[in-house]
Structure 1
Amino acid sequence: MVLEVEKKPNRSKAALFLALDQGGHSTRAVVFDVTGELVARTRVKIRDSVPRPGWVEQNAEELTASLAKVLADTAHLLGPDVSRLYAAGLATQRSNVVCWDRESGEALTSAISWQDRRAESWIRQFARWSDKVHEITGLYLSAHYGAGKLRWCLDHSAAAKQALQEGRLACGPLASFLAWRLLDSRPYLVDPANAARTLLWSLQRKDWDTQLLDIFGIPRRLLPRCVQSDHTFGTVKVGNTPVKFRCMTGDQAAALYVAGPPDSATAFVNIGTGAFVQRATGDRVVHVPGLLSGIALHTAINTTYTLEGTVNGAGSALDWLQATEPEPNLFVNLDGWLADAVDPPLFLNGIAGLGAPWWLGNFSSRFIGGKSVQDRAVAIIESIVFLITVNLKRMAVLEPRIHSIMVTGGLAALDGLCQRLADLNGVRVIRPAQYEATARGLAWLLSSGQATWALKDVQSFTPDNGGKLHDRFRRWEHAMDRAMFFAGEM
């Protein structure tokens, strides 16, 4: 594990909030004050593995150890200020699942990533239930979600099968496993945002759905109890100091609150391993063909639903290019390549499966034109922009009209990506200086909405003509239509 630490001067004696962000490439502990200013940050890099094509997993014990490490280092960084920690919370990638021993806490399987598609063929047998699944969960039948992965573990993991026979098996979202391991009270609980990405959870009833559990063959007794986002989960030790653990949620759900309560006229785009496009729909579930209906927050006084589009191949598409055509300076040079590009090739991006609004697990990715790594890297970035734009156009049916796009996540650092997004959609793109949104949004949730949250040093990208970009987008749309036609999906 590679560790990075940072601490900034903070002479206030006001409350602090500890956000634990367990992501695809790293585990972070980030401390914020009541104004949203970063106080301290520790980060441990982690690895995933691809044991077979379509499989993506992580060592669940390594993830637990990484959280223990960042907690210990946070205590060291804060020193006596650790006593100012008002609350802690955890955000994880949704749709990641794991099985563990209910008695010892030992992980019995790897943490199976949201990118994993090992259950692709298995999930197809339920096609006749697709409309019912979408009505109940807001999701489309996909191997990316938890049900297929959990069923795979029950059918193929010897350790999970033995624990099931002996009454020791626990399974569910990764967040539930990590909370069980970290918290003194060993809670066996799950929040709405993570439960909602299993294909097993009812958006309206906010609990496991009996009919879907029966359809997919997942015994209810194995799953954690569903609670609100801001439940009293227990306490977590930061060094020797117990801190109240008040919130558990998904990474994209937390990112929606990067600037406090989400504006319904703003589209939120968080670009990391994947790219996730969200609009808050308040207290109503909204269905738009091809898009996901989800939930960002459920408390005693507030429920916020979302409309969401997913792009599976964002950072993962660049990782794929780097693996197939190694270029040591790819990420360093990328913004310069975007600025210099004149007429880059097209990329039909189905890395990790084609997400919204098509939902095709085995789409074959391909370049049209271009042979250099530079050209292909630019084509990948533009494909991400194009896929995001397709989802934003689907969201345009909602009122109010989108007046701005807030972009966060690691790839938001690319000026060329942000400018293309503004040009293609004709609205201003806003990029906060702290563009890693998950931790900051989680910290605001930990304040119970009482913190005075303001974004500082916001950079804006104003739409320009972008005529050639619009032409490439039209050619890309036509190429996607042809590819879908020949794949038998249109």
Structure 2
Amino acid sequence: MGQYILVLDQGFLNSSAFLVDSHAKIIARFEVPLKPRFLRSGWIEYNPDDILKSQLNAIKALFRKIGTKKKQIAALGISGQQSTIILWDKETGKPVYNAISYNDPRGMDICRQRTGRREIVRERTGLHLSPYYSASKIKWVLENVKAVQKLADKGRLLLGTVNTYILWHLSKRSVYVMDHASAAKTLLCNIFTKTWDRELLELFNLPHEIFPDIVPTSSYIGDAVIERQVIPIHASITEKQASLLGHGLFQEGDVSINYGDDGLMLANTGKKIFLLPGLLTTIAWSNHESTTYLLEGIINSAGSFLSWMKDNLGLIGPKEDIEKLCKGSLNRLFMLPSLDGLGSPHWDSDSTVCLYGLKKGSKREDIVRAAVEAIAFMVKDNVNVIQTDGRLQLKKIIGSGAVSDISFLMQFQADILKMPVRKVKENHYTALGTAFLAGLSTNIWQGFSSIGKLTSSSSARVFNPRLSEQEAAKLYERWRLTFYHSREWSRNFP
């Protein structure tokens, strides 16, 4: 039996293929760029054929690179964009409309028409009623694309995420599934039963018959046929959840914070399902025996706000080091960088950017520092929800993403959380996490304990808290006052 795993990663801007060995080493990889189409009013689409071709081209290029090693591939795993949706004709295999991206807001009106049922959506899916999940996108296609409803009536309409679409084609149309993690981000899957929820399907007036089977993220799904080679499919998962696995955050209480254009906090809750105010709840990964769940927090402005300060305000020079600017600050200011409103746990789309504490001696270094520290404060807001509830004890925090390269931010995050923060280097963690799921399913690895030493956290740089508890609490209290005054301003002067 071979000991290599073929990993496919279908992302927003590229499709990649990786060969991973039994020591969790990436032996080879190949990436093919993918161009989304940016349309009116923030709509974002892809040509589904481009998605499929880019993924197939990545596989072909990888196979040329690895030569005879391809014969030793034991399993295939795939990770992909959550909530990006494709509908296609079962008989022809052709898409009936473009793929609608996860961050496409066109389903807003469809969601608004159902706001009276938002509590049942929350209780069964762990999510907010939002156009950024799949349900409203599917409904939009059925309502606006001619002949789609006729295909559904004839039993010819299929739908799914990019994972579903790619696996259906790679398996010669024999595998029609959606994994637990992907299904959980549709607004149509009950995370308690892990099945399509008939009441939620009725809420969006969607026929149950067109939906794929729901399967564990780590299990034998079927066989892919690639260049006449049969490869068992053993994993399918969303990118964010795969990255959590790749960082080695397997245990209850482990937390990942990704600092990119926006921020994302994922907290492993083990087998327990927590529905906490302001946070999202979803499925992390699963097999036939058990399911692991997550709490999710979203920070709307992180790297994107720093880019805005650079490009629109000129506060950061083209090649200027943000780290040096922060260290050059002598006066502390407080900022709420809600350029795109506030994400969790407040969910306030009307909040505006506010800066407090400006004096005659204030400089741009102070403003940049305030923006960087605000990212840490917003993460603290999310962590506070968990700590206030008290049932989940946080054990390990890992920071990743481009903005985490700012050491000043990582140190302040540790200070304000009063917990060590481990900063890891970027190393294709999504691919590694997907490989772990496939390898566990095929017994290349025997349980999570056997892959713990292969993950990133063992080589992380650790930032330990330096501020006293009293000083950290005082700073957070002052920032919360900034937050309060900003929201009052937004409410009184919309």
- Sort the TM-score into its range (normalised by shorter chain): 0.7 to 0.9
Please give the residue correspondences for 1:68-467 in structure 2 after superposition, counting only pairs within 5 Å: 68-158=56-146, 160-161=148-149, 163-164=151-152, 167-237=155-225, 241-260=229-248, 262-317=250-305, 333-342=321-330, 343=332, 346-351=335-340, 354-360=342-348, 362-363=349-350, 365-366=352-353, 368=355, 381-396=372-387, 397-399=389-391, 401-448=393-440, 449-450=445-446, 452-454=451-453, 455=455, 456-465=458-467
Deviation at 1:202, TM superposition (A): 0.5
- 1:35 and 1:409 map into 2 onto residues whose CA distance is 24
Deviation at 1:210, TM superposition (A): 0.4
- 2:363 and 2:276 map into 1 onto residues whose CA distance is 39
Q: CA-atom RMSD, angstroms?
A: 3.4
Deviates more, 1:139-148 or 1:14-23: 14-23
Deviations 1:379-410 (A, max 9, x none): 65444333222111111134453243112334
Relative to structure 1, is the Cα distance of residues 142 and 481 closer, same or farther in structure 2, using a 3 angstrom cutoff?
A: farther
Deviates more, 1:50-59 or 1:223-232: 50-59
Deviation at 1:253, TM superposition (A): 1.7
Amino acid at match of 1:421: Q
Deviation at 1:321, TM superposition (A): 6.2
- 2:202 and 2:365 map into 1 onto residues whose CA distance is 50
- Aligned partner of 1:9 in structure 2 is none
Deviations 1:149-181 (A, max 9, x none): 221222223364564465432223332122223
Answer whether contact 1:408 1:437 (CA < 8 A) is retained. no
Deviation at 1:194, TM superposition (A): 0.6
- 2:229 and 2:136 map into 1 onto residues whose CA distance is 39
- 2:99 and 2:181 map into 1 onto residues whose CA distance is 18
Gaps spanning 5+ residues in structure 1: where?
A: 1-12
Deviation at 1:444, TM superposition (A): 1.1
Deviation at 1:16, TM superposition (A): 1.8
Q: Give 3-state SS (helix, strand or coil) of 2:12's partner.
A: coil
Q: Give 3-state SS (helix, strand or coil) of 1:232's partner.
A: strand
Amino acid at match of 1:478: L
Amino acid at match of 1:425: L
Amino acid at match of 1:100: W
- 1:221 and 1:69 map into 2 onto residues whose CA distance is 32
Answer whether contact 2:336 2:482 (CA < 8 A) is retained. no
Deviation at 1:416, TM superposition (A): 3.2
- 1:399 and 1:14 map into 2 onto residues whose CA distance is 43
Relative to structure 1, is the Cα distance of residues 337 and 116 closer, same or farther in structure 2, using a 3 angstrom cutoff?
A: farther
Amino acid at match of 1:183: S
- 1:22 and 1:327 map into 2 onto residues whose CA distance is 36
Q: Percent identity?
A: 26
- Find out whether 1:477 has 2:480 as its counterpart: yes
Amino acid at match of 2:337: L
Amino acid at match of 2:385: R
Relative to structure 1, is the Cα distance of residues 104 and 389 closer, same or farther in structure 2, using a 3 angstrom cutoff?
A: farther
Amino acid at match of 1:392: V
- 2:315 and 2:18 map into 1 onto residues whose CA distance is 32
Deviation at 1:235, TM superposition (A): 3.1
Answer whether contact 1:96 1:174 (CA < 8 A) is retained. yes
Q: Give 3-state SS (helix, strand or coil) of 1:100's partner.
A: strand
Deviation at 1:473, TM superposition (A): 5.0
Relative to structure 1, is the Cα distance of residues 238 and 111 closer, same or farther in structure 2, using a 3 angstrom cutoff?
A: same
- 1:165 and 1:319 map into 2 onto residues whose CA distance is 48
Amino acid at match of 1:124: R
Aligned residues: 475
Relative to structure 1, is the Cα distance of residues 173 and 350 closer, same or farther in structure 2, using a 3 angstrom cutoff?
A: farther
Deviation at 1:102, TM superposition (A): 2.3
Relative to structure 1, is the Cα distance of residues 487 and 275 closer, same or farther in structure 2, using a 3 angstrom cutoff?
A: same
Deviations 1:317-359 (A, max 9, x none): 56666775799975884444455455567243353x6432123
- Aligned partner of 1:3 in structure 2 is none
- 1:59 and 1:329 map into 2 onto residues whose CA distance is 37
Answer whether contact 2:19 2:27 (CA < 8 A) is retained. yes
Deviation at 1:116, TM superposition (A): 2.3
- 1:328 and 1:67 map into 2 onto residues whose CA distance is 38
Deviation at 1:304, TM superposition (A): 0.9
- 1:14 and 1:52 map into 2 onto residues whose CA distance is 48
Relative to structure 1, is the Cα distance of residues 296 and 416 closer, same or farther in structure 2, using a 3 angstrom cutoff?
A: same
Deviations 1:200-253 (A, max 9, x none): 110111110001111121221222121222243333355554322211111122
Give 1 or 2 for the bigger CA radius of gyration: 2
- Aligned partner of 1:47 in structure 2 is 35
Deviates more, 1:398-407 or 1:279-288: 398-407
Deviates more, 1:134-143 or 1:25-34: 25-34
Relative to structure 1, is the Cα distance of residues 348 and 221 closer, same or farther in structure 2, using a 3 angstrom cutoff?
A: same
- 2:413 and 2:5 map into 1 onto residues whose CA distance is 33
Answer whether contact 1:183 1:235 (CA < 8 A) is retained. yes
Gaps spanning 5+ residues in structure 2: where?
A: none
Relative to structure 1, is the Cα distance of residues 272 and 101 closer, same or farther in structure 2, using a 3 angstrom cutoff?
A: farther
Relative to structure 1, is the Cα distance of residues 202 and 350 closer, same or farther in structure 2, using a 3 angstrom cutoff?
A: farther
Normalising by structure 2, report the TM-score.
0.84
Q: Give 3-state SS (helix, strand or coil) of 1:18's partner.
A: strand
Deviations 1:57-80 (A, max 9, x none): 333332222211221121122111
Deviation at 1:477, TM superposition (A): 3.1
- 1:328 and 1:79 map into 2 onto residues whose CA distance is 47
- 1:89 and 1:286 map into 2 onto residues whose CA distance is 28
Amino acid at match of 1:97: I
